[in-house]
Each structure stands twice: as structure tokens, then as C-alpha cells.
Amino acid sequence: MAPVVLDVDAAPEVVDVLCEAFYDYPVMRFVLGSPSDYTARLHELMTVYVMARVLRDEVMIGVPGPTALLAAATVSYPGQRESPPELGELRERTWDSLGSAARSRYESFGAANAPFEVEAPHIHLGMIGVRSEAKGSGLGGAMMRAVHDLSEKVPWSTGVTLTTELEANLSFYEHFGYDRVGSARVGSARVDAELTTWGFFRPDPAC
């Protein structure tokens, strides 16, 4: 089972994989809290995120299984793609649904990550997730290598950036050659709504 670049028709499956993999991820809980309709709200948030990749003609990578996608990753091209009007409209509809408080927390998270930006042209690994049934099978590592291969094939890219909000992930990314470029604490008016985010960069071998 090797990772492949997915076409736009795979977007709903990518949303499903990422909703499962990130169900209790700190960012999702920070933005959405724990309302009774959390699952539906998570699906809304993940849908607009994945559709941003589709509408900007960016990249989704996945590992197809016998009946469904087993792993998925989203890759963006910072500074290289314009956002079409449809994306802005989708975002506004989504935030109208999720509410101004969720939007404010999401924007504060984005602002905390802004100092991690790398000046040299690069690709960004936004999310990478593996279904629970496939965890421990090496798909996470295979997906990471596929993203690195993609960066090396993109003529203008000098490497890959990413962020994580789980301290347990730090050594995993360092194992794959990533260097920390910074960290920040993100908080909100809710005492229980805070997290730490770390930024990473892995330069391509030829750069």
C-alpha cells in the first residue's frame, strides 16, 4: 500500500480520515470546545479545510485500502496560490454556522503560528492522519516520505514546514529531519481552551 496523489473526488474520504484521526486533537478541541454536536461541527471545520486544498488546486495524498482510504495528508503551497471567491464564500458560511467564538479562537491559533513562517519558498504539510485500524502499520512514515518526495519534485520548493500541538509528536518529526523553528502558547477567554504549538522546517537535501 503506497501513498498516491488523490484527485478531487477523494475529498469526502479525506475529510472522513482526518475527522477520525484528529477527533480529539488539541486544535480541534481548542477551536470547537466540547458541544453536544461536536462531531458535526468537526466535520464542517474539516470540510472547509480540505476544500481549501481542492479549490486552490493544491495536493491531497492518501493510501487507498481495500474498501476505503486508510491514510490522508494535505499539502499547501504558501504564497503560490490565489484563493478563489468560492473559498471565501465557503469559509463565511462555515463560520456563520460555527460561530464567532470558534472563529476567534481559530484566528488566534493562526496568529500564533505566523512567526514560524519560513521565508524561502516551501510546501506546507497541513494535516496527516491514519485511521485507527491502520495505526502501527508504517503508513505515517510512508506518508511523510511521500510529502518529502513531493517537495523535492516541486521546482521552487526548498523544503517542508509543519506545526504540531502534541508534545509526543516532536521526536517523530525530528526523526524525519525536521528542525524546530519556534513554539507559542495559544489561549482564549475560556480557561480550558489553551494549547502549545510548535513549528518545524525540513530543508530538501539539495537545498
Model confidence pLDDT, tens digit, residues 10-56: 999 999 999 999 999 999 999 999 999 999 999 999 999 999 999 99
In the predicted model, is pLDDT for residue 106 greater than 60?
A: yes
Q: In this structure, are residues 1 and 139 in contact, taking their beta carbons and an 8 Å threshold?
A: yes
pLDDT digits (tens, 9 = 90+) for 109-119: 999 999 999 99
pLDDT at 3 over 60: yes
Q: What is the pLDDT of residue 190?
A: 52
Q: For residue 187, what pLDDT is reported?
A: 78
CB proximity list for 20: less than 8 A, separation 6 or greater: 129, 131, 132
Mean pLDDT of 127-154: 95
User: What's residue 87's pLDDT?
Assistant: 97
Instruction: Give the per-residue pLDDT at 88.
Output: 97
Q: Name the residue with cell 481495500.
A: 66
Residue 191 pLDDT greater than 50, yes or no: no
**Higher-confidence position of 124 and 82:** 124
Task: Tell me what the mean pLDDT of segment 53-72 comes to.
Answer: 96
Handedness of CA 63, 64, 70, 76 (dihedral sign): positive
Q: What was the pLDDT predicted at 130?
A: 96
> What is the structure's pLDDT at 136?
86
Give one DSSP letter per residue of 157-204, joined into a string: --EEEEEES-GGGHHHHHHTT-EEEEEEEEE-SSTT-EEEEEEEEEE-
pLDDT at 83 over 60: yes
Residue 181 confidence (pLDDT) above 90: yes
With a pLDDT cut of 90, the percent of the chain lying above it is 90
104-111 long-range contacts, Cβ below 8 Å, gap at least 24? Answer: 104/188, 105/30, 105/31, 105/188, 105/193, 106/31, 108/186, 108/187, 108/188, 109/27, 109/30, 109/31, 109/186, 109/195, 109/197
At the topology level of CATH, where does 4-203 sit? Aminopeptidase (3.40.630)
- Boundaries of every domain in the chain: 4-203
In the sheet that 123-130 helps form, which strands lie side by side, from edge to edge? 4-5, 59-64, 69-76, 123-130, 159-164, 194-203, 179-187
What is the per-residue pLDDT for 206? Answer: 79
Tally Cβ neighbours within 10 Å of residue 81: 14
Among the listed residues 25, 194, 21, 177, the one whose alpha carbon sits nearest the alpha carbon of residue 112: 194
